[in-house]
Every structure is written in C-alpha cells, then in structure tokens.
C-alpha cells in the first residue's frame, strides 16, 4: 500500500479482498447491522435525533482501511 496525503491506495486485488471480507477491512455490511440502527432510531432512546444522515460502511469513508 502507498500512503500519500493520509490517503491509502489499495491494489485491485486488495480492494476485492476488502469487499469480500478476505482482507484487512470489515467486508460486506450485513442486514443485521442496518437493522440495529433502525431499531435504535425507532426507540425512545433516539427521540432527540432528527435530520441526521447515518453512514454504515465499516469505516470506509473515514479511510480506516
């Protein structure tokens, strides 16, 4: 991997491994992970949360892998 300006550039082989769960990344998001957020947002615990966008991507957007 090449680190440049705090960005990580993966080879095509590494990207495929990350997406399929065979690499250092999290892998494919499971339905249960999305459902857990939906259940929380539907609960009284989330009554003060409005107008938010929740990204469920295992840290991909944050560049964690």
Tens digits of residue pLDDT in 8-41: 667 778 777 767 765 555 667 788 989 999 999 9
Distance CA 63, CA 22 (A): 18
Q: Which two tokens stand for residue 27?
A: 């892998």
At residue 18's C-alpha, the angle toward residues 17 and 22, to 5°, is 50
> What is the pLDDT at residue 50?
94
> What is the pLDDT at residue 41?
96
| pTM (global) more than 0.75 | no
Listed residue (8, 54, 9) closest to 34, CA to CA: 54
Q: Which two tokens stand for residue 51?
A: 């107008």
> What is the pLDDT at residue 44?
97
């Amino acid at each position: 991997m090449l680190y440049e300006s705090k960005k990580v550039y993966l080879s095509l082989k590494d990207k495929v491994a990350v997406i399929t769960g065979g690499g250092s990344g999290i892998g494919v998001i499971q339905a249960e992970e999305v459902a857990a957020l939906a259940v929380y947002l539907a609960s009284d615990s989330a009554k003060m949360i409005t107008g938010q966008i929740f990204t469920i991507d295992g840290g991909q957007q944050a560049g964690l892998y």
